[in-house]
């Protein structure tokens, strides 16, 4: 164990956490490839998380949060610093309210979004069915305002609880988050819970809506491929001021089926970059950059990545 690791280990050795050194986090993403993290830590309580963040902040150690790994690619060289995973019960609990109550439902940031969609429909609560088929933790879904044709995460958010990197707990109303297309204005920190406006509704109708949304995704997206979902955000066409389909622009540039090493542009949906078992993270990165360049040359529109890239060098941040 390096001296650097030994020094950093003192940050969490007295805390109620699970820690893994040289953790293979790349394999925990939906691409199932990429490098390792210097350390992966799963706090078992809010207090442990608070102390860990405060110590890292004071020691100027970078901290990242790993959710479901569905919108993430870890570069082959891995990353330094601390990666936190909110996969312990303290951060996954959902406090479902009585159907007659108008109090928001509190959902831990580590809770699985697809499971929440299914369970909320079963219980007869509307507000999440538009997110059917989106693989994410609720915290990750909020941070990127995940969504699709049927709606986004923002429409059900009342407020969120965050822990700032200096160790301060704060509650922020949805009106302060300035939700937009695949973005929101969250201060630097870790989302630890969401308060969602879920309303009593017909369970049968809700389950039918969940099925409808999921079937649409199955028809239009390559859900069986190893990918991180849509690689690029739908851009605004400067000539019209309207948002254009990134997949359509990629298709018009003749890039469906294009490859780089083990990475490939999906034939089913141009905005998905898949990866064969023989491929690596750098193949995906190289292909994504190539697609951006060729789309710009063809249409004059610059694509912006939706998939988050973690890299040791920070070159792809």
- The tens digit of pLDDT for each residue in 200-242 reads 999 999 999 999 999 999 999 988 889 999 999 999 988 888 9
Q: Is 91 helix (H, G, I), strand (E, B) or coil?
A: helix
Least confidently predicted of 124-138, 169-183, 253-267, 300-314? 300-314
Name the catalytic one among 64, 143, 182, 226.
182
SS3 category, 163 = strand
Question: Over 70: is that where the pLDDT of 313 sits?
Answer: no
- Residue 55 is a catalytic residue: no
* Stretch 275-304: mean pLDDT: 97
Alpha carbons 36 and 50: distance in angstroms, whole number? 24
| Distance of alpha carbon 104 from alpha carbon 126, whole angstroms | 12
Please, where in the chain does CATH 3.90.78.10 lie?
A: 222-310
Residue 1 has pLDDT above 80, yes or no: no
CA quadruple 221, 227, 231, 234: dihedral, nearest 10: 20
**Token digits of residue 50:** 């608070």
Is residue 182 part of the annotated active site? The answer reads yes
Q: Please report which helix (H) or strand (E) contains residue 206, including its range.
A: helix 203-220
* Residue-level pLDDT at 171: 97
- For residues 175 and 93, the answer to whether their CB atoms sit within 8 Å is no
Confidence of residue 97 (pLDDT cuts 50, 70, 90): confident
pLDDT band for position 7 (cuts 50, 70, 90):
low
Strands 17-23 and 37-43: antiparallel
The residues of the chain that CATH labels 3.30.465.10 are: 93-219
Over residues 274-285, the mean pLDDT reads 96
Give the residue, 97 or 236, on which the prediction is more confident.
Answer: 236
Q: What is the mean pLDDT of the chain?
A: 93
Task: Average the pLDDT over 146-174 and give the result.
Answer: 95
Confidence at residue 137, expressed as pLDDT on a 0 to 100 scale = 97
Q: 3-89 domain in CATH 3.30.43.10?
A: yes
Per-residue pLDDT at 286 exceeds 90: yes
Q: How does strand 263-265 pair with strand 259-260?
A: antiparallel
Tell me what percent of the residues of the chain surpass a pLDDT of 90: 89
Q: Give the mean pLDDT of 84-101.
A: 91
Instruction: Say whether pLDDT at 3 is over 80.
Output: no
Name the least confident of 2-16, 87-101, 146-160, 191-205: 2-16
Angstrom CA distances, 89 to 76, 101, 109, 141, stand at 31, 25, 11, 19
C-alpha 38, offset from chain centre: 21
Q: Looking at 56, 196, 230, 280, which residue is catalytic?
A: 230
pLDDT at 98: 77
| pLDDT exceeds 80 at position 283 | yes
Fold of 222-310: 3.90.78
How many CB atoms lie under 10 A from the CB of residue 218? 12
| pLDDT of res. 101 | 76
Tell me the C-alpha to C-alpha distance, in Å, between residue 302 and each of 144, 152, 186, 264, 298: 20, 24, 25, 20, 10
Choice between 4 and 189, residue whose per-residue pLDDT is larger? 189
Q: Residue 317 above 60 pLDDT?
A: no
Q: What is the pLDDT of residues 37-82, one digit of tens each?
A: 999 999 999 999 999 999 999 999 999 999 999 999 999 999 999 9
93-219 has CATH 3.40.50.970 classification: no
> Is residue 293's pLDDT more than 90?
yes
Reference 80, options 104, 100, 99, 56; nearest CA is: 56
pLDDT computed for residue 239 by the predictor: 85
CA torsion 188-174-162-20 (nearest 10°) is: -80
The yes-or-no answer on residue 306 being catalytic is yes
Nearest alpha carbon to residue 258 among 301, 293, 310: 293
Q: Which residue has the tokens 């309580």?
A: 45
Confidence of residue 5 (pLDDT cuts 50, 70, 90): low
To the nearest 10 degrees (0 to 180), the angle between helices 203-220 and 113-123 is: 150
CB 265 within 8 A of CB 286: no
């Amino acid at each position: 164990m390096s001296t650097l690791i030994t020094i950093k280990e003192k940050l969490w050795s007295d805390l109620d956490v699970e820690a893994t050194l040289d953790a293979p986090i790349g394999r925990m993403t939906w691409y199932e490839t990429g490098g390792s993290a210097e350390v992966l830590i799963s706090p078992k309580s809010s207090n442990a998380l608070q102390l860990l963040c405060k110590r890292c902040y004071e020691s100027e150690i970078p901290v990242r949060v790993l959710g479901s790994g569905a919108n993430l690619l870890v570069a082959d060289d891995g990353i330094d610093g601390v990666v936190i995973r909110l996969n312990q019960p303290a951060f996954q609990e959902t406090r479902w309210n009585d159907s007659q109550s108008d109090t928001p439902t509190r959902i831990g940031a580590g809770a699985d979004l697809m499971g929440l969609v299914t369970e909320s429909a079963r219980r007869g609560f509307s507000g999440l069915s538009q997110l059917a088929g989106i693989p994410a933790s609720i915290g990750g879904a909020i941070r990127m305002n995940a969504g699709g044709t049927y709606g986004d995460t923002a429409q059900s958010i009342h407020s969120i609880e965050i822990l700032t990197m200096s160790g301060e707990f704060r509650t922020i109303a949805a009106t302060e988050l300035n939700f937009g297309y695949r973005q929101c204005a969250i201060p630097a920190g870790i989302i630890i819970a969401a308060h969602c406006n879920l309303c009593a509704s017909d369970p049968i109708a809700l389950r039918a809506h969940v099925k409808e949304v999921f079937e649409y995704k199955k028809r239009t997206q390559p859900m069986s491929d190893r990918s991180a979902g849509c690689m690029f955000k739908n851009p605004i066409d400067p000539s019209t001021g309207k948002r254009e389909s990134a997949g359509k622009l990629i298709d018009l540039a003749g890039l469906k089926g294009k490859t780089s090493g083990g990475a490939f542009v999906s034939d089913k949906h141009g905005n998905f970059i898949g990866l064969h078992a023989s491929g690596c993270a750098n193949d995906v990165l190289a292909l994504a950059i190539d697609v951006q360049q060729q789309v710009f040359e063809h249409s004059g529109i610059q694509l912006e990545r939706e998939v988050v890239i973690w890299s040791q060098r920070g070159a792809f941040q």
